[in-house]
């Protein structure tokens, strides 16, 4: 990819390593990195052979060689960091969840529109080859009328109170970190839910440990999800229609395989993903395509849908009684 955008990486945590590694493996132009310390930026730049390293995010977004900034800080910082880049005239790809809540998401979306820039949520699952094929199968009518989504995202993560997922001040908890995947998948299939039912259990820190949801839609459609940070489940997903279903293998939100199974049990199709790296570069390619085409509203995941999904997460949090410091 020689004619694409020049990427800047804002923050140098684990997800930034995974994303940058995929960019480099697939020929994207990673031009700069910014960290809270020069030492951290230099170390990251050396690891990935990035020419420009900056101390502080302000210096990164001011870099004239950067066209688009990937924001990978903790959830409560997404809105401020994305806005910083947009104010500097840079497009942004913002880690999921896009922001901490709906109000922040709307402000970022408004700023991007005012500046004529792309703001895209880094929900990388939507761009993976198996998800693209699943949409083709659904659109072809193979499943008949799609009625149900079943999905879990369950991990057994450290119970250390200082761990990011257990710290409310960092936006910790199962819902925003893990539940965003099945919630976004439900939106992708069915759109906005008509009703939302939620239940949760909590850790001693106040962070949500498990969150179960039931979304209902017109036509008798239902989507159910379970997200957990203290137990590991199958991490599978199933899309069920009147004529057939799609069974997505572990881990369903990463490059994986699936089977299309008819109502009589016969296998109609088997699909296997083959990608270079982890597969996070597909969302970067989508961002570059959107900018090149001038479609700054988005298509696979429009910014208006990202904002609305944050509203759904807000509604779930209200039902289970989860608030973050400063809200």
Question: Active-site residue numbers?
Answer: 96
Distance between CA atoms of residues 157 and 326, nearest Å: 26
Ramachandran sector of residue 191 (left: φ over 0; alpha: ψ -120 to 50; beta: rest): left
Distance between CA atoms of residues 83 and 17, nearest Å: 22
Question: What does the DSSP assignment read for 203-232?
Answer: -TTS-EEEEEEEEE-GGG-EEEEEEESB--
Structure tokens at 320: 């289970």
Distance between CA atoms of residues 157 and 209, nearest Å: 10
Q: Which residues pair with 151 in a beta bridge?
A: 225, 237
Pair type for strands 237-241 and 146-154: antiparallel
Q: Provide CB contacts within 8 A for 251, sequence distance 6+.
A: 235
Selection from 105, 246, 104, 250 nearest residue 181 by Cα: 250
Q: Taking a C-beta distance cutoff of 8 angstroms, is the pair 81, 50 a contact?
A: no
Distance between CA atoms of residues 206 and 161, nearest Å: 10
Peptide bond before 251: cis, by omega within 30 degrees of 0? Answer: yes
């Amino acid at each position: 990819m020689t004619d694409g955008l020049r990427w800047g990486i804002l923050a140098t945590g684990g997800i930034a390593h995974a994303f940058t590694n995929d960019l480099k493996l697939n020929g994207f132009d990673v031009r700069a990195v910014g960290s809270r310390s020069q030492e951290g930026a230099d170390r990251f730049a050396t690891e990935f052979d990035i020419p420009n390293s900056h101390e502080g995010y302000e210096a990164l977004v001011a870099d004239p060689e950067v066209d688009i900034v990937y924001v990978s800080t903790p959830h409560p910082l997404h809105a401020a960091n994305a806005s910083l880049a947009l104010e500097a005239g840079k497009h942004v790809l913002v880690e999921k969840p896009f922001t901490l809540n709906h109000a922040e998401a709307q402000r970022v979306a408004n700023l991007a529109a005012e500046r004529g820039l792309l703001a895209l949520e880094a929900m990388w699952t939507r761009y993976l080859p198996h998800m693209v094929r699943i949409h083709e199968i659904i659109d072809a009518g193979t499943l008949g009328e799609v009625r149900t989504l079943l999905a879990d995202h369950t991990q057994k993560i450290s119970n250390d109170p200082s761990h990011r997922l257990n710290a409310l001040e960092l936006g910790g908890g199962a819902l925003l970190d893990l539940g965003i995947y099945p919630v976004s998948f439900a939106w992708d299939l069915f759109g906005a839910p008509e009703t939302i039912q939620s239940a949760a259990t909590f850790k001693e820190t106040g962070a949500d440990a498990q969150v179960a949801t039931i979304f209902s839609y017109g036509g008798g459609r239902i989507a159910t999800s379970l997200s957990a940070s203290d137990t590991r489940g199958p991490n599978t997903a199933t899309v069920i229609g009147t004529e057939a279903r799609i069974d997505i293998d572990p881990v369903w939100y990463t490059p994986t395989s699936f089977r299309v199974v008819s109502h009589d049990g016969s296998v109609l199709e088997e699909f296997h993903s083959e990608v270079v790296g982890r597969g996070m570069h597909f969302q970067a390619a989508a961002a570059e395509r959107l900018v090149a085409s001038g479609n700054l509203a988005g298509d696979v995941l429009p910014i208006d849908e990202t904002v609305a999904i944050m509203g759904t997460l807000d509604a779930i949090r209200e039902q289970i009684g989860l608030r973050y410091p400063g809200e």
